[in-house]
A and B are shown apart, each in its own frame.
Chain A
Amino acid sequence: MKLFRIRGGVHPDYRKERTRENPIIALPMPRILCLPLKQHVGAAAKAVVTSGKRVKKGELLARASGAVSAPIHAPTSGYVVDIVDQTAPHPSGLPQKTIMLRSDGKDEWGELPAGIADPFTADPGEIDARVAAAGIVGLGGAAFPSAVKLGLRVGKTLDTLILNGAECEPYLTCDDRIMQEHAEEVVDGARIMAHALGLKRLIIAIETNKPQALDKIRAAAAPFAGVVVVGMPVRYPMGSERHLVKALTGLETPAGKLTADVGVVVHNVGTARAVHQAVRFGRPLISRVITVSGGALSEGRNIEVPLGTLVSDVVAFCGGFKNGTIPHRLISGGPMMGYPLPALDVPVIKGTGGILALTREEINEQTAGPCIRCGTCVTVCPCGLVPMEMAAFIRHDKLEAATKAGIRDCVSCGSCSYICPSHIPLVQYFNYAKGRLNALDRDQRKQERLRTLVEARMARIERQAQAKREAAARARVAKPPVVATNDAPAGDMKVSA
């Protein structure tokens, strides 16, 4: 298959050797699971259980609320201890409503909906509903509710489904292992999604640094016509949705649009496996595979973790930290696009792709120097932006100029920060600017809402005053002014008054 060129990109040290040969092992069920109500993009789920309630494995704990949301299910049997504010697995370390579930050790399944025997004759709407009810979100890291993405067939002309097995982030090997060990499930899930989207063309894209995964997926996909497995050149950020679409189809996704607007939907391989389990067996998303690695850990592993497991339990399972010291940095996700975790007692959630405990040497943090205008960041930017210029604007808080320079098109891949010879924290500036712009938008919307409230109040006051004037006028017309005369009896006056 002909591949198209994508611009920019970098070749970081991949450091996948430590975990790529380690098969996926299941984590023994922890005693306590902490399930935040918001583990996805969109509105937080609404809890349907209260403290003290006994639940079986797979039972609904919180239902989706709103169009873009996802439900949450019990990863094991046990009882709900409480629903409390607990530190979120988020760089801010702010609290978030979390369901605390205590395992009873029996791991007993509750009643599940029957699987769909032949999904390829089922109505696409039925598959969407299954995926939505199973609480499946994009497992590549973005955690966007998958059912919403499958619903894109309405109102858009689609022609291709791309299954993203690029896994271009250094350290991470969980998708690689899923493809090697569960190739049939991945291919089946992908075909179900293609059917739900009404698509005949399915491309499975895998970077060529995963030859075993490529072989296994090729073998699994061989019986099916219309499924193409493509080996992608190894370059970061090949796994970015927009860049994968560009490389495979040559189509450029316009700024501010979705890849679906050019007719392509992209899903992660882990998501495909979750869809397979939800549609074929009615199993909700209650666990995920993560890579645990980094120089500060005694052992690197690929682990299937029940959602809600505390990072400290995962670290303990991997033999703890080397020399028992706290790592220099603890990261959720990959080193390029992941974020630092505020503490060890935060849970693994649906969007967690990896836990990395990195040493000072691995991070190689350096003091930023002045920009020397070398232009390397411009060369590597996969979005065709000029990072040095945008950062200069943002440093002086000229957000409008930065917007004109294309800050909204930045995917925060971090290639510029990685390559900068002066170690300028470029992507950090962009993340700040994007957050700040969103905050300004929110302020603006609030101002507009308040303005309509003020106007409504003014109108109401005016209406009331008008009604009063009219009533007074009517009263004057209906009743001629009473002229008190001396011959009128006093009693009458009292009645009329």
Chain B
Amino acid sequence: MLVAVGSLALMGATLGTVLGVASRYLAVKSDPLEADLQALLPGSQCGQCGYVGCAPAAAALAKGEAPVTLCIPGGRAVAERLARRLGLEADLSGHEDAEPQYAVIDEKLCIGCLRCFQECTTDAIVGAAKQIHTVIADNCHGCAKCFQTCPTQAVSMHKIQINLADWHWQKPKLRSGLKTRRRH
């Protein structure tokens, strides 16, 4: 009886010490929160948030240096998921999505230099050297890198128009008769 209890207690103490030491000296430096946040971001490295890519943006989010609404192409959907992961009660009702855009190449001005093609992180631009390039609008996430790099200003950014399939009812507007109490 004593032997059994004693040996188990000894094992527990030894292994516990080993685990404790290991957690101290073998700790992984990277923050798992950062990795989680990065997985929630679109991963297109577009830089619209002001950070170099999605990883630095995730790091800033984890440190609380950036707002959850930083990701422009991700819009409200990403903002909500980020807030949930960070455990924040983000009140997004006042947050308006930055209008999603897409790039269009003016064929009259395109000289087929391939510069925009190389910048595009989602391969939304189709083209070859000395051939007119074009944008697959569905794959464009509006980062405007091509817009900035084009030497002939052939690229223009356009707002995505709402079509019949994407339209939905707006939230009913509160009339003057209904007063809401704001709670924070």
* Chain A residues close to B by CB (< 8 Å): 38, 88, 90-92, 94-96, 367-370, 394-397, 400, 424-425, 428-429, 431-432, 434-436, 438-440, 442-444, 446-447, 449-451, 453-457
Contacts and interface: CB of A to CB of B under 8 A. Distances in A.
Contacts of A397: 92-93, 171
14 contacts: A88-B164, A90-B164, A94-B164, A96-B164, A368-B174, A370-B179, A394-B171, A400-B84, A425-B172, A438-B168, A440-B76, A447-B74, A450-B73, A457-B121
B78 interface: yes
Given A367-B177, A456-B123, A450 B172 contact: no
Secondary structure at chain A's binding surface: helix, strand, loop or mixed? helix
B119 to A, nearest CB: 11
A454 B122 contact: yes
Interface in B150-174: 162-164, 166-172, 174
A370 to B, nearest CB: 6
Nearest to A397: B93
Interface in B122-158: 122-124, 138-139, 141
A450 B141 contact: yes
B77 interface: yes
A451 B168 contact: no
Interface string B63-93: 0000000000111111010001000000111
B20 interface: no
B12 interface: no
A451 B178 contact: no
Contacts of A454: 42-45, 121-122
B122 A450 contact: yes
Interface residues of B, number: 39
A453 B167 contact: no
B23 interface: no
A396 B169 contact: no
A369 B178 contact: yes
Nearest to A398: B93
Given A368-B174, A447-B77, 16 more contacts: A90-B167, A92-B164, A94-B164, A368-B175, A368-B178, A369-B177, A428-B169, A432-B169, A436-B168, A439-B168, A440-B77, A443-B74, A447-B42, A450-B42, A450-B73, A454-B44
Contacts of B122: 450, 453-454, 457
Contacts of B77: 440, 443-444, 447
| Of B163, B172, B178, most A-chain CB atoms within 10 Å | B172
A92 B170 CA distance: 10
B176 interface: yes
Chain B interface main SS type = loop
B176 to A, nearest CB: 7
Interface of B: 42-45, 73-78, 80, 84, 91-93, 121-124, 138-139, 141, 162-164, 166-172, 174-180
Q: Which of A95, A424, A438, A453 has the most CB of B within 10 A?
A: A453
A439 B166 contact: yes
B171 A432 contact: yes
A438 B138 CA distance: 17
B139 A449 contact: yes
B138 to A, nearest CB: 8
A435 B42 contact: no
A453 B123 contact: yes
Q: Which of A397, A435, A450 has the most CB of B within 10 A?
A: A450
B180 A91 contact: no
In this complex, which of B75, B171, B179 has the most chain A Cβ atoms within 10 angstroms of its Cβ?
Answer: B171
